[in-house]
Amino acid sequence: MKNGIKSLGIENGTPSNDLKRRDFLKLSGLAGAGLIISIGLLDSRNAKAAAAKGIFEPSAYLKIGSDGKIIIMSKNPEIGQGVKTSMPQIIAEELEVDWKQIEVVQAPLNNSLGDQFAGGSTAIKENFTELRKAGAAAKEMLIEAASRKWKVPLNECYASEGFVFRKNTNDKFSYAELAEAASKLNVRENPKLKEKKDYKLIGKAIGGVDNSKIVTGNMEFGIDARPKGMVVASIERCPVFGGKAKNIDDTEALKIPGVEKVIQLDPTQNPTRMVAGVAVIAKNTWTAMKGRKALKIEWDYQGGEIESDLNLKTQLEKNINSKGELLRNDGNVEEAFAKSTKVIEAVYEAPFLAHAPMEPMNYIADVRSDGVDVWGPTQVPGSVRQLATIITGLAGDKIKVMMTRVGGGFGRRLMADYAYEAIYLSKTIGKPVQVVWTREDDMQHDFYRPAGMFKMKGALDENNKLTAWQINASTTSRYDFRGSSDPSYSTEVFPDGFPAGFVPNFRMEYLPAKSKVPRGAWRAPGHNITAWLDQSFLDEMANLAGKDPVAFRLELLGEEDKEMPYSDHGGPVYSTRRLKNVITLAAEKANWNQPATKGTYRGFAAHFMFGAYIAEVVTISMRSTQTIKIEKVVAVCDCGIVINLSGAMNQLEGGIIDGLSSATNGAIHIESGRVKEGNFDDYKMMRMKDAPEIEVHLVDSDESPEGLGEMSLPPVSAALCNAIFRATGKRIRKLPINSEQEKLQVF
Amino acid sequence: MPTFSLIINTETHQVDVSPDTPLLWVLRDELHLKGTKFGCGIGQCGACTVHLNGIAVRSCSLPVASAAKGKITTIEGLSKDGSHALQKAWIELDVPQCGYCQVGQLMSASALLIRKPHPTDVEIDAAMSGNLCRCGTYSRIRKAIKLAASKNG
């Protein structure tokens, strides 16, 4: 267990925990009378923080002004996962304020806030206690301030809706009236936290704090920032991974009015080894794009052009049929396979995927001799600062990172490559530069979801119970790509994932495949494939056993409730009680035990990841013998305590759409060392007309809360493929479903 | 550079740009109307949707020269204060996740409601399927359009 860092995809050293090891809360003076509480680190967490290098300890600001303003600083990047609403919601709960009294402000990157990032669905789970303590500590100090003013004991005072009241009287002070006095008090280190039954805000549906700005077009995303004197860069990158420019002719580009400069990005000549490219810098975006088209570049592909889907497939096939690194070996699979008369062997295959967030990659840097200002969409503002230091030589405190709302992340913006380009170019030309990628740039220079192939072999015993399970996996490991010291299989396969531990003979082997194609974290890393193949293959075994897929899973999990060891992010254990519960509930909500409506077919899948439990039923209908419509998805999720009901449902619905979209049509193809797809016309994503009805149920739980940005995605592809098997007898073992080989059209 | 006269949100603007410049970049870079978003550049995602004479068009693929004679409405002109029924419905149903595509969604939806004050599901699908939402907020968008339509009387 590495505290989940493996799944976070943090790279390029998002600032290691150079956090000030302050006491839990530190009170600092504020310009003008008022109270600022910055939450530092919990002592109990320091050890963990040190162990978990690269993972970030939580902190936040709460500002109550004498002017009546209550400002909660939102510290993490908002990428659509809803933290700008849900994290302040937790503080406000304990602070005892009406939500309408709160103003949420996005914090810039700020040392005193600790580390700030978005990844691994960790914000809520990692910050829940600290945020509550921040709210509660402030509330207790405000109560103390009131008790001193009234000269009455603390227990005669209580807080509610932004006021401190004196019991059995009509006396009250607003928080604004108490702010100055409270700011002079010692910080409450261990404030009393509310019980779940007393929650007024946590668990309620709260609309996104930026919604008004979003619907009026007034929301500033990274691409909208406009520092004075800004120029725009459009960069032509080597289309083949690993290549470099041999000859650049910029004559025509420089003739275009408005084009100012052409600058080569040579990986060997710059400190961050950016992808080789040529930047055209112009007075505005369109001119930069036009100038770029006028470039004539001869590339040296450095041998990268030989890579293709075909030779990757050859490599993967060889790997799954070779002896791999042994990751798990329970019992003796060979013996079990030899003894069994009911054995299935099947090969599953999953492609590279692009992230394709709606806001294209872009970043702005203003590098001056005395400091750097940067704006833009990123999941890792700390990485940006660190890279700015490397490029400019300026200390971190001279680098101001403005965090704008982010138009989607999905793991793509854990990589800050485009920010480095902006910083490098601004430093080179001495002006503020905005780098804007086109959609084609994004599609062809992503850090893709690793592709992989998996040989599955399963056996039943004489009682039709699952007795053996073997997986020989090979993927283009993302940890290998980044040159990490972590093992290649990290976040590619999960040796403790279900059904491991429930099959007496279980073997897992892994071999990485070599590739120059950049790989990165893609929503629910690893799980986005493993849930599909495990839950599909379980369905194959259930079918072989002649058992109902839900009953087969429940039988496998057993009647006794267990805590299963789980060494990955979301561990150290998972609960079979909670897993069985979501399975049972999903079956119930989807009327699984009743026959499906005539003409419809259902598939089931369930999964544990990142601490949350989810089960899903997909219902499809046959529109013709080869045309399938996805009609409905029912999902039941146990994520512990739900913070924002509306946000939670939104995340789960969105993950389901993303999972169906990628399962049906998602694929990045490599030919001659480059990506074939270029835009949304050939990288198809689900649209409204194909979006099924989605019904989400959240388990009422007292367990600690888990994030929800990723969980609903992984099992839905399996539930869909299992439904397709029911409908057609055809087992989908290669994604995407709508490929040339398959005769099916699923929408 | 030629000068183009554009009527945007009932105001007339003069811009000096090359005639092939897409309306999107005129709005964003010249007039600083940044609510309209860049998503794909080829009219595939709808993030850049504006109205031209009340009809939804993809401004990323519309050269400024072609837009010069029409009446253009951008999100900034949909309502003065966020009071359009769709904007209110979007907030009421908490539609956005990342929010980047939502301006385009709103412009497509508002063009639909001009033509069809009470659209059917099929009509909503047809009008809205040119707009991608990578976060998958489709079911809420659909509900919000219906909610707004229900207030059309």
Phi/psi of residue A346, nearest 5 degrees? -150, 145
Asked if A647's CB is within 8 angstroms of B94's CB, the reply is yes
- Count of Cβ atoms closer than 10 Å to residue A103 Cβ: 14
Cα-based angle A263, A269, A271 (whole degrees, multiple of 5): 105
Which of A149, A137, A34 has the alpha carbon at shortest distance from A95? A137
Q: Which two tokens stand for residue A541?
A: 């075994």
Helices of type H across A604-644: none
Q: Which two tokens stand for residue A96?
A: 């005892």
Residues 701-730 of A with CB under 8 A from B: none
Alpha carbons A64 and A76: distance in angstroms, whole number: 20
Q: Is A438 within 8 Å of chain B by CB?
A: yes
In the 3-class helix/strand/coil scheme, how is A237-284 assigned residue by residue? ECCCCCCEEEEEECHHHHHCCCEEEEEEECCCCCCCCCCCEEEEEECC
Rg, chain A, Cα only: 27
Asked if A688's CB is within 8 angstroms of B124's CB, the reply is yes
Interface test with A, best of B100, B112, B142, B145 (most A CBs within 10 A): B100
- Count of Cβ atoms closer than 10 Å to residue A334 Cβ: 12
Low-confidence winner among A42-46, A452-456, B39-43, B132-136 (lowest mean pLDDT): A42-46
Nearest by CB to residue B139, choosing from A356, A407, A691, is: A691
Residues 60-99 of A with CB under 8 A from B: 78-82
At A94, which amino acid appears?
E
Asked if B39's CB is within 8 angstroms of A650's CB, the reply is no
Is the CB of residue B106 less than 8 Å from the CB of residue B142?
no
Alpha carbons A582 and A389: distance in angstroms, whole number: 48
The DSSP line for A110-144 is -GGG------TT-HHHHHHHHHHHHHHHHHHHHHH
CB-defined contacts A:B, below 8 A? 196
ipTM above 0.95? yes
Q: Which two tokens stand for residue A529?
A: 């494939």
Q: Which residues contact B111 (CB under 8 A, 6 or more apart)?
A: B49, B51, B54, B55, B56, B127
Asked if A80's CB is within 8 angstroms of B98's CB, the reply is yes
Which 3 state secondary structure label does DSSP give A82?
coil
Q: What is the pLDDT of residue A130?
A: 85
Nearest by CB to residue B90, choosing from A211, A360, A653, is: A211
Asked if B99's CB is within 8 angstroms of A80's CB, the reply is yes
Is the CB of residue A247 less than 8 Å from the CB of residue A298?
yes
Q: Which two tokens stand for residue A662?
A: 């990628």
Residue of chain B with shortest Cα separation from A82: B97
The enclosing H or E element of A668 equals: none
pLDDT in tens, A180-221: 888 888 878 889 999 999 999 999 999 999 999 999 999 999
Task: Show residues of chain A in contact with B148, CB under 8 Å.
Answer: none
Asked if B42's CB is within 8 angstroms of A439's CB, the reply is yes
Q: Which two tokens stand for residue A51?
A: 């162990």
Task: Show residues of chain A in contact with B133, CB under 8 Å.
Answer: 358, 688
Alpha carbons A434 and A564: distance in angstroms, whole number: 49
Q: Which two tokens stand for residue A134?
A: 């921040």
Asked if B142's CB is within 8 angstroms of A688's CB, the reply is yes
Asked if B137's CB is within 8 angstroms of A653's CB, the reply is yes
Higher pLDDT, A118 or B1: A118
Q: What is the pLDDT of residue A44?
A: 31
Structure confidence at residue A741 as a pLDDT band (50, 70, 90): confident
Cα-Cα end-to-end distance for chain B: 48
Which 3 state secondary structure label does DSSP give B108?
helix
Query: What pTM did the predictor assign?
Result: 0.93
Which of B90, B10, B20 has the alpha carbon at shortest distance from A215? B90
Q: Which residue has the tokens 């040989």?
A: A455
Structure confidence at residue A619 as a pLDDT band (50, 70, 90): very high
Helices of type H across A464-564: 478-481, 527-545, 549-557
Alpha carbons A240 and A306: distance in angstroms, whole number: 10
pLDDT tens for chain B, 153 residues long, are 789 999 999 999 999 999 999 999 999 999 999 999 999 999 999 999 999 999 999 999 999 999 998 999 999 999 999 999 999 999 999 999 999 999 999 999 999 999 999 999 999 999 999 999 999 999 999 999 999 999 976
Beta-strand relationship, A277-282 and A259-265: antiparallel
Please tell me the distance in Å from B116's CA to the nearest CA on chain A: 18
Is the CB of residue A655 less than 8 Å from the CB of residue A713?
yes
Q: What is the pLDDT of residue B153?
A: 67
Structure confidence at residue A41 as a pLDDT band (50, 70, 90): very low
